[in-house]
Amino acid sequence: MKEDCIFCRIANGLIPSTTLYEDDDFRVILDLNPASKGHALILPKRHSQDLCSLDDETAGKVLPLAGKLGTAMVKALGCDGFNLVQNNGEAAGQTVLHFHMHIIPRYANGPKIVAWKPGTVSKEEMAQIAEAVKAEL
């Protein structure tokens, strides 16, 4: 645990939170500034800044847990779906530098929360991008 990290402190119970779920590896809390009713955050108890530094074992538990929470939200809150959002880096909107996964319930006819304007790309540019990324894998 990183002493000066607010999500380490919340995940490990040093700062109170509205907790939906807890086990040895995770705490799931309600977001203080929700994008929709029920917006929750999956917080690993062990500190990692983002997805790139998250260990594989913890990473492998995040999606099943998100699915479990999403299923419970559909039943308990009556949402019609949910988005998983996970920001890496300030440019991507990450404001707290401790890995977390947002679970954002979505309601029919509710506002769009995760959306982008579809762009365009040439076949040549797609090929260049693919070659550049594949070379780093």
Kindly report the number of other CB atoms within 10 A of residue 129's CB atom: 11
Q: Distance between CA 49 and CA 94 in Å, rounded? A: 10
Tell me how far, at minimum, the Cβ of 41 lies from ligand AMP, in Å.
Answer: 6
Q: Is 100 a catalytic residue?
A: yes
Whose Cβ is closer to ligand AMP: residue 7's or residue 79's? 7
Q: Shortest CA distance to 30 belongs to which of 22, 40, 21, 17?
A: 40
Going by C-alpha positions, the residue among 36, 65, 53 that lies closest to residue 97 is 53
Q: Is 42 in the site for ligand AMP (CB under 6 A)?
A: no
CA distance 1 to 111: 37
Residue 29 near ligand AMP by CB under 6 A: yes
Q: Quick one: which segment of 46-54, 73-81, 89-97, 122-130 binds ligand AMP (CB under 6 A)?
A: 89-97
Measured from the CB of residue 94, what is the shortest distance to Zn ion in angstroms? 12
93 lines the binding site for ligand AMP (CB under 6 A): yes
Rounded Cα gap, residues 98 and 79, in angstroms: 27
Active site residues: 100
Q: What are the residues binding ligand AMP (CB under 6 A)? A: 6, 17, 29, 31-33, 41, 87, 93-96
